[in-house]
Amino acid sequence: QRLLTNAHVVADAHLIHVRRSDGHRKFVASVVCLCFESDLALLAVGDEAFWHGLEPVQFYQGLPRLQSEVCVVGFPDAPSGGETVCVTQGVVSRIDLHSYSWDSSLLVVQIDAAINAGNSGGPCVDQESGLVVGVAFQKSVSSGADNVGYIIPVPVVQHFLECYTTGVWGFGVPGFDWQLLDNPSLRDLVGLPADMTGVLVSTVEVTSPARHLLHPVEDIVLSVDGQEVGEDGTLLLTQPTADGSRPRSLRLKLEWAFRRLPPGTEIRLEVMRQGERREVMLPVSRPSPLVPSDPLDGERLGTRPEYLLVGGLVFVPLTEPYLTEEYGEGWDSCPARLRNIAQHGRMKHAGQQVVLLSDVLACNFTQGYEVYRRLPVERCNGQEVKNLSHLASLVASSETDAFLRFDLAENCVIALKREGISEATAAVMRNNQITDTSHILRRDTAGPE
């Protein structure tokens, strides 16, 4: 028996208490697993008294119908209505792909039932069948938007639960980007006949299996698993119904055909290149963003963030949580350079990280370098830095050099005399109660180095 909630509700919590809506006693819960990609988490409650008399929820099969009536159950905070359980009603307004984080876009159901802080993780129930159609997790805060809430639909929830059961984590991605072919001149240029539709492969991720199977600006994807790709980049997908009636069809963005599959699953593409059609079996890959939103993979890599301490210099990989911690939820004061890397940067090789000089701790050895905080590190002693682990190895391997040189962005240079680094590092560790000079993850074995 497990409790299902949002990952953002329990992330970073040291102590979790849960209480039944019909009781007054608090019970201690623990996190079983987290998935920030889908913003879902499972909790365990060890005390059997909590579970006594409770029945597990039943999920709606597939997606709810548009305009079907639903209700959201939760505990909005006091400014939104008090401390007792709250039920709001509305209808299903839209089904589409929507952003879960900077690097994750998955299927959502939009509803007009009120969702406020405290509703997150609560069930959304179909009023006709009494079945759960999703988990509340977001609301629109845009000016002019009233009662626009989002729930995580059952297909995404079931995928998350399958990840927990199988241990194969993640939602697949195609590994390539595409361009629409709705312009007649462009269609003629690439040789797409007037009676056919598809999308043009524009770029291929270097870390994806697609790099061996697809050619950018040459290949046109005509269909995916037998479903034709529309000129608007959508697919007609069939959805089962809860009552067993005739399945419904829904046009969704092409991306969902890949996102709904576990990484490693093969998907069949019909591709045309220079007028010749062929079939490609493409393994969907796992997302590998240059600036990840979940650098610890739902805490499966531990709970300690990565860092490297050299003298008073603190180096960390650039991640979405780091930017949020430094610049707030909206990254309002984030430098344009870092924002551009986070939103548009792409890996050039597997395992690549953007390494930042995160901080310069008080130390005579590093005085004057405080102004270079938050600049990316490009080279160390003349060698390009691939990731934090690589930087640590470059620092360790240069012990015979008189100086340790770091070349940062904006042509800034930091130099440290080798003979003083060990003593300065030890002093900084004592003054700041730091126990280790580094914590670096080896992602091939999912453990600390």
Residues 160 and 186 grouped into a single domain:
no
Asked, for residue 237, whether it belongs to a domain, the answer is: yes
Split into its structural domains, the chain has a count of 3
pLDDT value of position 445:
33
Active site residue 12: no
Tell me the average pLDDT of the chain.
Answer: 89
pLDDT of residue 247: 64
With bands split at pLDDT 50, 70 and 90, how would you rate the model's confidence at 346?
confident
| Residue 444 pLDDT | 46
Q: Which of 116, 139, 166 is where one domain is finished?
A: 166
Placement of tokens 């990731």 in the chain: 387
104 with 248, same domain?
A: no
The residue segments making up the domain with residue 246 are: 176-283
Burial of 212 (0-12, 13-18, 19+ CB in 10 A): exposed
**Domain membership flag for residue 96:** yes
On the 0-12 / 13-18 / 19+ scale of CB atoms within 10 A, 418 is: middle
Structure tokens at 153: 């639909």
Considering the candidates 39, 103, 126, 297, report the single residue annotated as catalytic: 39
Query: Quick one: which of 95, 99, 101, 146 has its CA closest to 124?
Result: 95
Least confident range of 1-15, 287-301, 324-338: 287-301
Is the same domain home to 206 and 133? no
pLDDT of residue 103: 67
- Is 24 among the catalytic positions? no
- Asked if residues 90 and 73 have their Cβ atoms less than 8 Å apart, the reply is no
Task: Assess whether 253 and 383 both reside in one domain.
Answer: no
Nearest to residue 55, comparing CAs of 154, 157, 123? Answer: 123
pLDDT at 260 over 80: yes
Query: 187 and 161, same structural domain?
Result: no
pLDDT of residue 242: 56
Domain assignment of residue 288, yes or no: no
Q: Are residues 137 and 187 in the same domain?
A: no
Q: Is the Cβ–Cβ distance between 389 and 442 less than 8 Å?
A: yes
The three-state (H, E, C) secondary structure of 40-64, written as one string: EEEEEECCHHHHCCCCCCCECCCCC
Clarify whether residues 18 and 153 are in a common domain: yes
Residues 408, 412, 418, 421, Cα dihedral to 10°:
-70
Query: Annotated catalytic residue: which of 38, 101, 104, 120?
Result: 120
Residue 69 shares a structural domain with residue 24: yes
pLDDT (tens digit per residue) in 87-121: 889 999 999 999 887 667 899 999 998 888 888 89
Each residue of 157-172: b (16+ CB within 10 Å) or e? bebbbebbeeeebbbb
Residue 120 a catalytic site member: yes
Q: State the Cα–Cα distance between residues 402 and 444, nearest whole angstrom.
A: 34
The lowest-confidence range among 49-63, 148-162, 229-243, 355-369 is 229-243
Tens of pLDDT, residue by residue over 429-449, are 999 999 999 999 875 433 333
